[in-house]
Structure 1
Amino acid sequence: MNIFWDNIVGHKHNIDELRLLCSEDMVPHSMLFCGIDGIGKQMVAKAMAAAILCHSPHDGIPCGECASCKALLSDIHPDFFQLVPDETGNSPIIKIETIRDMQDKIARLPILSKQRVVIINDAQTMNEAAANCLLKTIEEPGGQIYFILITNSVMALLDTIISRCMRKDFAGLSREEVAMILSSKGVTGERANYLAGFADGSVYQAMLLNDETGVALQQAAIRFFSACAEKRLDMEMVWTEGASLGRYEKKQLRQWFSFFIMVIRDQLIIYNGSDVPLYNQGDASRLTGYTGQLSQLQLMSLLKLAREYQGRLRFSVSPRLMMESFIVKAKDVCNGGI
């Protein structure tokens, strides 16, 4: 487990502000870290937890030598808790039982530090019962307890929880920062730069592409856009593409939608003659050939549709049926029925 601010790439402004809160003993009891997956929010939260729990912090920096820091480094700190979604069902979910179990544990006196820290990963996956149960604890924490909620979808949280947390928004990493992190993970320089181009600021997204499935999804997104631009979408493709894409897991379909959105974004850049770098540099000539085959309004409609269905993946029971529905609507957009 990382406990040091210096090991985190990017987010300097947020880190400086959080360190200042720690150094001046002004940390709020509830914080909300918002941003896309794979940009380091959890690393920042853990470094924050280390600074709060450390016995001898200096200017908001954990010492790394005390019993608390050593326990965190070994992942055995008795006053540090992490909640993660249960992924055994159709969709990841944090259930009320998980929140109640945490509440029972934090009701006891701290063991190693004077404070306790609870990190809730993917807080947006809490069901309504779990969220309402957590709300009561946030409103009346009872002692030196600090909560850090991490989410990629702040709108999925209860307004009452959002209003009781200090919110920090985390932007995506730069292409250079993503490439640097990928290199530290053993991805070679040229490959790291290539993947960083598709990352959209997320190391998680870049790593998903760094295997055969990721490459297949990226190419499938380009092929589907080609069918859209060339007006080849018909009902036969609805069934064949729906079956082909429907075999993927939801997290992989989310990645497919991300790639498809990148292709549309590239086409809009080409359409408007902008000099902004393309995600799909290797397919630039192919995409340029499609310029004008779909109007800007159609491209924007496809973009809106893709984002809508990417969000629906959180609730869809049947990925295949959902993809078939998406392709039918995409067909209507491409054929002029906006």
Structure 2
Amino acid sequence: MARMKNAAPMAAPEAPVRVLFPRDWTDIRGHAEIIRRLRILAAEDRFPHALLFSGMEGVGKRRTARVLARTILCERPGDSPCGICDSCRTMAAGIHPDYFETAPEARGKSAAMIRTDAIRDILVAASGAPTLAGRRIILIDGADSMNETAANRLLKTIEEPAGTAFFILVTNAYDALLPTIRSRTVRIAFGSLPRAEIAAALREHDAKNAAAIAALADGSLGKAYALAEEGLALRDDALTLLMELDTLRVEDIWARAEALGARTHEERTAWISYLQMALRDLLILHEDGGSTALYHTDRRDDLMVLLSRMSRAHLFDLLRETQELSHRIGANVNPALQAEAFLLRAKG
């Protein structure tokens, strides 16, 4: 069963740079205008029956939804949770009887999704009258991962909302939701975060290479935290490949292809994305050698060396090759053989 919680999870942080559950609006990075609008709605208590938070992964949608839930459930009227009332304390303890949350769950080797039984259970649990607050809140994280039956069951409830239930749906893939669900919710679109904002958050947690990671995170604080945990070894390996491409011998290609094939699917996908980022940086530098809008800001000197070796036509060819490699590996074709073919073509 997909996880269902009747209050905010207070588990220990998964990683040293991550703060999992926010206390109030000051724990949200960026999105000042969205927060301003939500606080006005909270102060005036005039929410629709369902909100849909959409945007790229890792920008703070779920965190914002959780702070909003705390604000609405707080016993003291206003635009922020007070932190000291019974409702705020039970939220902090993870046992608020009027807050329900579910998210995708993987079973066996199948992809994570929100299944029908999870939606059924959370709707049944939240169908009664509020116990402590003035309404009940249902947060559905990863709403785009609902299977068709689950989505239709939720749709029926949203179409005919009962009592005081208030829904917050969170998605990284707005277009993947049923059009009928989209049409019955009020969408709030979250943009990417500025690099400076991400770098500041990383520095607060003493993360190394904050500026470089902020550039690579492409607007996602969640991705930045993950990169801070993982380090930049995978990125550096992809750039080293580009630097050494002209001098690779056949036996080097075999070794590199075997090494890439032995990585996890997630690592291979990330490695290819780093390669594509570097190629994109080189194309930008071809147009504007002084540009600072680079992903690999900390490796600019290496990029300038590569720039003298690669024509624009060659860069576009390599981009097409990396896209084809990504497609073939995603289709579960033997990754080592595909990497070998890719390297042979890339070397020319």
Per the TM superposition, whether the score is higher than 0.5 is yes
The corresponding residue for 1:256 is 271
1:210 counterpart SS class: helix
> Contact 2:127–2:165 at 8 Å: present in 1 too?
no
Count of matched residue positions in the alignment of Structure 1 and Structure 2: 326
The corresponding residue for 1:150 is 170
Cα distance in 2 for residues equivalent to 1:312 and 1:8 = 38
Residues 325, 254 of structure 1: alpha-carbon distance in 2 compared, 3 angstrom cutoff: same
Q: TM-score, normalised by structure 2?
A: 0.79
State how 1:1-338 maps to structure 2 within 5 Å: 1-58=21-78, 60-90=79-109, 91-187=111-207, 191-211=209-229, 213-226=230-243, 230=246, 237=253, 241=256, 243-273=258-288, 274-291=290-307, 296=312, 299=315, 316=330, 318=332, 321=334, 328=341
2:292 counterpart SS class: coil
2:232 counterpart SS class: helix
Quote the sequence identity (%). Answer: 34
Of stretches 199-208 and 41-50 in structure 1, the one that deviates more from structure 2 is 199-208
Cα distance in 1 for residues equivalent to 2:48 and 2:249 = 53
Q: Cα offset for 1:34?
A: 1.8
RMSD of aligned Cα (Å): 3.3
Cα distance in 1 for residues equivalent to 2:255 and 2:158 = 49
Q: Cα offset for 1:300?
A: 5.3
Residue 71 of structure 1 aligns with an amino acid whose one-letter code is T
> Contact 1:302–1:330 at 8 Å: present in 2 too?
no
> Contact 1:30–1:166 at 8 Å: present in 2 too?
yes
> Contact 1:269–1:276 at 8 Å: present in 2 too?
no
Cα distance in 2 for residues equivalent to 1:141 and 1:162 = 15
> Contact 2:203–2:210 at 8 Å: present in 1 too?
yes
1:39 counterpart SS class: coil
> Contact 1:294–1:334 at 8 Å: present in 2 too?
no
Residues 42, 332 of structure 1: alpha-carbon distance in 2 compared, 3 angstrom cutoff: same
Cα deviation 1:213-233 (Å, max 9, x = unaligned):
442221232234446x74969
2:100 counterpart SS class: strand
> Contact 2:98–2:135 at 8 Å: present in 1 too?
yes
Cα distance in 1 for residues equivalent to 2:170 and 2:259 = 33
Cα deviation 1:180-230 (Å, max 9, x = unaligned):
212332426xx333322322222222222224x442221232234446x74
Q: Cα offset for 1:172?
A: 1.8
Cα distance in 2 for residues equivalent to 1:172 and 1:10 = 9
Residue 263 of structure 1 aligns with an amino acid whose one-letter code is A
Unaligned runs of 5+ in 2: 1-20
Cα deviation 1:275-311 (Å, max 9, x = unaligned):
2342323322222233275554664576577679879
> Contact 2:286–2:312 at 8 Å: present in 1 too?
yes
Residues 56, 282 of structure 1: alpha-carbon distance in 2 compared, 3 angstrom cutoff: closer
Residue 133 of structure 2 aligns with an amino acid whose one-letter code is S
Unaligned runs of 5+ in 1: none
Q: TM-score, normalised by structure 1?
A: 0.81
